[in-house]
Amino acid sequence: MEPRIQGLNTHLVHTGELEDPLYHGAVSPLYLSTSYAFDEVDIKRYPRNFNTPNQEALGHKIAALENKEAALIFGSGMAAVSTAIMGLVSSGDHIVFQDDLYGGTRNLALADLRRFGIEFSMAKGLEIKDFESEIRPNTKLIYVETPSNPLLKIIDLDMIGRLAKKHGIISMIDNTFASPVNQVPDEFGIDVVIHSATKYMGGHSDISAGAIATSNELIAPIWSMAKSLGGNLSEMTVWLLERSIKTMGLRVHRQNENALAMAHFLSAHHAIDRVYYPGLVEHPGHEIAKKQMKGFGGMMSFELRSGLDARFFQQQLKLIKPSMSLAGVESTVLSPTMTSHHSLTLEERKNQGISEGLIRFSVGIEEVSDLQRDIEQAIAKTENHG
């Protein structure tokens, strides 16, 4: 494939755009047809075949961003995760997962993969030995997320890429938290890259979508599975997602800056006990993050000083909204113990280091001074509250 010769923002704006030969409009035309005449090369274009004009064009854009040959777009991040895994493993195969997985992916493993006779184990830590010791003769896939949710743990992608190659195993990453702006796993030999495009790619909290980017060789079985599972995204939303991705570089760069400023502010604050952000030198994954990320991202977590009521604190915020999702232009907070990690036992949460008072913070593009003022006033009220 062509080397990545253009800069990031040029790619974001121009790669995979459809021309409008009829009216020469500035943006890609939207083709809503679900029915297409067979063309000379006999491509059977159909939405669930993932090959309509808008799907193909957006696939080119996302593949280029991830430095991969091909990409498919889905109706959600979990459609991408489940299709990628089920397209590449069969009954009797084994998967090594990192231990702290996105909740939906964890459920997929525990509730469904087992049912289909797919074996898996969780690496006990973040080191190479933790992954290597779980590899069995039938291991087909190593699956990681870095930075992870919600503690922003960092896994060395170069280490995972080498380990997978050494054992002839496919490596897969959920790259949602970093976004392709901050991390291109292909640079470290990772084979398959997955995104919940609901997050940074969409970026405005108004699109549900997912994506898989990989080689032509690996996309073939995934594509075949995709056509059977039928998790394609509607054409209208494909078009909207393409529009959103054009500004992803601007948004994510600003979110990186804001998050770093907020992490320093929170670390220095008397009412905050801990801040988990890979951009802080005291974060255990900082050195690796510096090596493999172009920016540290817009996600962090923090703990209020013990004794302060985390739920009350979140209710006092005026600008920053408690919200289930993340990565929008607006800042949001969430309690993992009440939402994404609610289904885990207390013991499991403790093992993962998720305390009751932990607050996950998705930093938006607002003015840092306004975000700081909002947190200050909420802390003051929380300190006066019992």
Q: Is residue 255 at the binding interface for ligand PLP, with CB under 6 A as the rule?
A: no
Per CB under 6 A, 199 contacts ligand PLP? yes
Instruction: Using alpha carbons, list the distances in angstroms from residue 375 to 271, 309, 310, 337, 371.
Output: 11, 14, 12, 21, 6
| Residue closer to ligand PLP, measured from CB, 184 or 379 | 184
Which of 59, 77, 231, 297 forms a contact with ligand PLP (CB under 6 A)? 77
Whole-angstrom distance, CA of residue 310 vs CA of residue 339: 14
Interacting residues with ligand PLP between 110 and 149 (CB under 6 A) = 145, 149
Q: Largest Cα–Cα distance of the chain, in whole Å?
A: 74
CB closer to ligand PLP, 83 vs 139: 83
Judged by CB under 6 A, the stretch of 164-172, 183-191, 196-204, 309-317 that binds ligand PLP is: 196-204
Q: How many residues belong to the site for ligand PLP (CB under 6 A)?
A: 15
Residue 18 or 193 having the CB closest to ligand PLP: 193
We find the least distance from the C-beta atom of residue 69 to ligand PLP, in angstroms, to be: 23
100 contacts ligand PLP (rule: CB under 6 A)? no
Residues 196, 237, 255, 314: which binds ligand PLP (CB under 6 A)? 196
Long-range contacts at 370-376 (CB < 8 A, ≥ 24 apart): 370/319, 371/258, 371/262, 371/319, 371/320, 371/331, 372/262, 372/265, 374/317, 374/318, 374/319, 374/320, 375/265, 375/266, 375/269, 375/317, 375/320
Region at 162 (left for phi over 0; alpha for psi -120 to 50; beta for the rest): alpha
Least distance between ligand PLP and beta carbon 40 (Å): 37
Q: Which of these ranges, 58-66, 162-170, 195-203, 227-235, lies near ligand PLP under the rule CB under 6 A?
A: 195-203
**Contacts with ligand PLP in 150-179 (CB under 6 A)?**
174, 176-177
Q: Stretches 74-82, 118-126, 260-268, 363-371: which one binds ligand PLP (CB under 6 A)?
A: 74-82
Give the one residue of 28, 54, 55, 76 binding ligand PLP; rule: CB under 6 A: 76
- In the bound complex, which residue of the shown chain has the CB atom lying closest to ligand PLP? 77
Our CB check for ligand PLP shows the closer of 77 and 297 to be 77
As given in the structure block, the two tokens for residue 325 are: 């999702």
- Our CB check for ligand PLP shows the closer of 78 and 218 to be 78
**Region binding ligand PLP by CB under 6 A among candidate stretches 193-201, 257-265, 302-310, 312-320:** 193-201
DSSP one-letter string for 198-225? TTTTT-SS----EEEEE-HHHHHHHHHH
What is the DSSP annotation of 337-370? TTTTTTTS-HHHHHHHT--TTEEEEE--SS-HHH
Alpha-carbon Rg for the chain, nearest whole angstrom, is 21
Sequence-distant (6+) residues with CB within 8 A of 380 are: none
Q: For residue 180, which of 171, 170, 190, 165 has the smallest C-alpha distance?
A: 190
Out of 55, 139, 183, 208, the residue judged to bind ligand PLP by CB under 6 A? 208
Residue 332 makes contact with ligand PLP by CB under 6 A:
no
Nearer to ligand PLP, 145 or 235 (CB): 145
Instruction: Tell me the closest approach of the beta carbon of residue 341 to ligand PLP, in angstroms.
Output: 12
Locus of tokens 């469904």: 112
Closer Cβ to ligand PLP, 84 or 317, answer by number: 84
Cα torsion for 366, 367, 373, 376, to the nearest 10°?
70
Binding of ligand PLP by 360 (CB under 6 A): no
Compute how many other C-beta atoms are within 10 angstroms of the C-beta atom of residue 30. Answer: 14
102 counts as binding ligand PLP under rule CB under 6 A: yes
Q: How far apart are CA 95 and CA 141, in angstroms?
A: 5
Structure-token pair, residue 306:
């013990």
Burial per residue of 53-62, b for 16 or more beta-carbon CB atoms within 10 angstroms, e otherwise: bbbbbbbbbb
* Residue 78 lies near ligand PLP (rule: CB under 6 A): yes
**Candidate list 29, 104, 189, 284; residue touching ligand PLP; CB under 6 A:** 104
Residues within the interface to ligand PLP (CB under 6 A): 76-78, 102, 104, 145, 149, 174, 176-177, 196, 198-199, 208, 210
